[in-house]
Homo-oligomer: A and B are copies of this chain.
C-alpha cells in the first residue's frame, strides 16, 4: 500500500500511517520525544543506516512533524538538528501508548527503560481517554461511532 494511496484515504489512521507507518519512523519519534535533536544521536541510538535515517527525517520535515536547522560547531562542518513541531509533540500520546503496551504485555527483563511523569508533581503518567474536562473515561465506556462521512 503505497504512501500516496494512504494519504487519500478517508480513514484517519491510514492517513497518519502514510507519514508515520514506515519502519523506523516511530522509533525516531521516540528518540526525538526524549529530547534528542541531532542526526548523529538518532543514528547511534537506533543503529540505523544514515541514508534510511535521512529519508525518514526528510519525510517528517516535509509533513510538518519536525523542522530541520543547520548548526555549526567551531572547526566542524555544518550539521543538522531536527526539532519536533507542535504537531510532532502531539504524537507523544501515540508513542506513549505503544510504550506502555510493550511494557505491560511484552516486558523487558530489567524493567522499563523509560518512564513518564508530571514535571510538576513527579508522579507517573499514562495514556488514556479523557472527556472534554480532562477526566479519564475507562476503556470499556468508550464507544466508536461512524459519522455520515464513513464510506458506505
A-side residues, CB < 8 A to B, are 1, 7, 10-21, 23-24, 26-27, 30, 33-35, 64, 87, 89-106, 108, 110-121, 123-132, 134-137, 139-151
Contacts and interface: CB of A to CB of B under 8 A. Distances in A.
B35 A110 contact: no
Nearest to A64: B105
Contacts of A126: 129-130
Given A105-B64, A132-B124, A147 B112 contact: yes
27 contacts: A10-B113, A11-B102, A12-B98, A12-B100, A12-B101, A12-B102, A13-B30, A15-B102, A18-B106, A92-B142, A93-B97, A93-B139, A96-B142, A97-B97, A110-B148, A113-B147, A113-B151, A115-B145, A116-B142, A116-B143, A117-B142, A118-B137, A119-B143, A121-B131, A125-B130, A126-B130, A130-B136
A101 B91 contact: yes
A66 to B, nearest CB: 13
Contact of A13 (B7, B21, B27, B123): B27
Given A139-B90, A145-B114, A21 B20 contact: no
